[in-house]
Amino acid sequence: MGGILVDRFGKPVAFREGVAAARKVAISSVASQDGKGISLALLGTVADQLQLLASLGYSLQLVLAGDKASCDKASHAILNLLKLKEPVVELPVEHTAEEGALALGAARGFGAQLLVVLGANRGVELEQGRIARVYQPPAAGSAAAAAALPPLVAAAWAAASTSGGVPVLLAGLAEPDVLLRVAAGQDVGTLFDPAAAEAAGGAKAVAAASSARDLAVRARAASRKLQALSSEERSAALLRVADGLLAAQDDILKANAQDVAEATGRISESLLQRLVLKPAKIAQLAEGIRAIAAQEEPLGRMLRKVEVAEGLILDKITAPIGVLLVIFEARPDALPQIASLAIRSGNGLLLKGGKEAAHSNAALHRVIVEALGSDLGPDLISLVTSREEIEGLLALDDVVDLVIPRGSNALVSHIKRNTRIPVLGHADGICHVYVDAAAELPTALRILLDAKTDYPAACNAVEKVLVHKDWVEKGGLQTIREALQKAGVTVHAGDSVKPMLADLPSAPSPRHEYSALAVTIEVVDSMEAAIDHIHKYGSAHTDCIVTTDGERAEAFLRGVDSACVFHNASTRFADGFRFGLGAEVGISTSRIHARGPVGVEGLLTTKWVLRGDGHVVAKDAGVTYKHKPLPAAVAEAEAAGGRGRRHGGGPRCVVM
């Protein structure tokens, strides 16, 4: 359930015991957007939640507001389809505060332990869009008390405060899983309850709110300011980040030493390796950021230019996506790299790092905020350090445009399964090399050994070798197996080769990513069988054919539906740097937005700009359409994206 605010181990972010204990609940005001009666489509957005709660034993009362006809229609639908045990109360009133008072009366008559009022607002709004957790009545004699309260707020407070009153919860109809979150006692909406108000005490507790949401909203505003800067100004900010990293080196290393000391013995040796920062690494980081600053301007690139009609010119240009959420584990050096890519491409950023690197991340983040200056710094790039954990962030699908996970397969899978925000990344890298009947064996061996041993844990390392059956009699199967074993690779037998190579250990499953010096070997009857096998058990990441038969190679490249398809080349080439994309954002196995190794273009969207001179459509009689393509800079720009740079090896499945 995407919207439930629990941390990664299921711990709720906050718990409202009293609310969670209520089993007899009235729910009011499923009103339509235009305030006129009930829309069945809108009702549908909470109907599944009502049905689940009802099936879980809740007594529910639904108080509908709207005109008689739509109430009748809706209550018929609800009674018959949801099989609610309690009748639906109809309130044929207009869309006013009166509605609130009537709903309260109905709830009291029902004996509800809680009344949930769903509306357009997410609750009682405080400054900067924050929602009060618990409503606090203004102090007597204060200016706020003198001002008239919104009628619904006044009614809710009165209902909750009178003897035998019903606690009221105001929440947003459009919030994901709103009723389920209420039932689970989570922080959603504003609670009107004198006891809770007293317990919450001072203004501070009241104002506590979904801070990550605020951060995202502010990041978007800051990203709009950033876009208004010139390319040179954005480059200059990046150079300040690079200088700042070097200047703050001592602070950063000190913070990092603290992280390392705390983590030693608590995390694996390989994770610990990734956690450590050294002066050389910081210098390398600064150099990388200077390279990003020197890159071609990614924003405003002309992708298409069309003369729509005489004097009416349409451009399609690149623009930033908006607000990115990057969730990363261990490696603190990822932070300045990701931040620099965001600055270059005009995006706002929420960063959520692993706890093991908390001090290092804070020190690095400070450098970036200072380099950006007081106007942009505090808002554009935020390090989420609040109690809100990953699940809470993943629920921000209305204010975050893209999630980029950087970490283990388990983290990426978890994120993909638990958010409605698009995810740029890949969970699995189950890459295949198919050795065709027409392969040259030395070529096949060279490619196989490189694809497995160059960096066995990489996502683009081969996990499965498919050998054409002709090689069984010709001895090639044995040769391949022995060459791999000689190179230290544990060769596992897939079902098809178990009878031939009985001494090999069995593969754990037909779909298995070793991420280690191990592969599964299988025999296939034909290239078509290899393609079917890849579609059935692969992860559509990178798959390769080794053959001298050009026609068969083309059929394989056309037929295999993966992000990267190779002929006679190691799967290890599937990498942003090796592809010449410059800075790598990650490798995506998604079929939407960006696929395969992704460069900065993965952080961009497009925008249509139309310039006219008073042009009108007038039923398409107002203009004579030409739709004449004009020369755009796109060809060179797109092709020149290939301008890459040499780089060393290493684990780079995700952000540079």
Decide: is 512 part of the binding site for a copy of itself (CB under 8 A): yes
Please identify which residue in 24, 290, 498, 607 interacts with a copy of itself, judged by CB under 8 A: 607
What is the residue type of 341? L
Per-residue x/- marks for a copy of itself, 240-279, CB under 8 A?
----------------------------------------
- For a copy of itself, the binding residues in 194-233 under the rule CB under 8 A are 221, 224, 227-228
Buried b (16+ CB within 10 A) or exposed e, 238-247: bebbbebbee
Please identify which residue in 8, 85, 254, 355 interacts with a copy of itself, judged by CB under 8 A: 8
The end-to-end CA distance of the chain, in Å, is 31
Per-residue x/- marks for a copy of itself, 396-415, CB under 8 A?
-----xx-----xxxx-xx-
Options 148-156, 333-341, 369-377, 590-598: segment touching a copy of itself (CB under 8 A):
590-598
Decide: is 314 part of the binding site for a copy of itself (CB under 8 A): yes
Which of 26, 430 has the CB closer to a copy of itself? 430
Decide: is 57 part of the binding site for a copy of itself (CB under 8 A): yes
Angle at 85 between CA 81 and CA 86, to 5 degrees: 110
What's the min distance (Å) between Cβ of 475 and a copy of itself?
A: 20
- For a copy of itself, the binding residues in 152-181 under the rule CB under 8 A are 174, 176-177, 180
What is the residue type of 78? I
- For a copy of itself, the binding residues in 452-511 under the rule CB under 8 A are 454, 508-509
Options 85-93, 194-202, 269-277, 620-628: segment touching a copy of itself (CB under 8 A):
620-628
Decide: is 387 part of the binding site for a copy of itself (CB under 8 A): no
> What are the structure tokens assigned to 26, written together?
């009235």
Which of 341, 462, 333, 327 has the alpha carbon at shortest distance from 407? 327
- For a copy of itself, the binding residues in 524-543 under the rule CB under 8 A are 535
Options 105-113, 208-216, 517-525, 555-563: segment touching a copy of itself (CB under 8 A):
555-563
Which of 136, 235 has the CB closer to a copy of itself? 235
Answer yes or no: are the C-beta atoms of 462 and 571 closer than 8 Å.
yes
Which of 520, 550, 555, 559 has the alpha carbon at shortest distance from 433? 520
Q: How far is CA 307 from CA 162, 366, 566, 590, 627, in A?
A: 69, 48, 39, 34, 5
Q: How many CA atoms lie within 13 A of 379 on its CB side?
A: 17
Decide: is 344 part of the binding site for a copy of itself (CB under 8 A): no
Decide: is 355 part of the binding site for a copy of itself (CB under 8 A): no
Interface with a copy of itself (CB under 8 A), residue total 152
Which of 259, 236, 284, 244 has the alpha carbon at shortest distance from 364? 244
Which of 281, 647 has the CB closer to a copy of itself? 647
- For a copy of itself, the binding residues in 23-42 under the rule CB under 8 A are 23, 33-35, 39-42
Options 182-190, 242-250, 262-270, 370-378: segment touching a copy of itself (CB under 8 A):
182-190
State how far the Cα of 544 lies from the Cα of 396, in Å rounded to an integer: 38
147 burial level (CB within 10 Å; 0-12, 13-18, 19+): exposed
Please write down the long-range contacts of 501-506, taking CB distance under 8 Å and 24 or more positions apart. 501/477
Decide: is 635 part of the binding site for a copy of itself (CB under 8 A): yes
Phi, psi for 218 (deg, rounded to 5): -70, -35
Decide: is 605 part of the binding site for a copy of itself (CB under 8 A): yes
Please report the sign of the dihedral spanned by the C-alpha atoms of residue 174, residue 175, residue 180, residue 185: negative
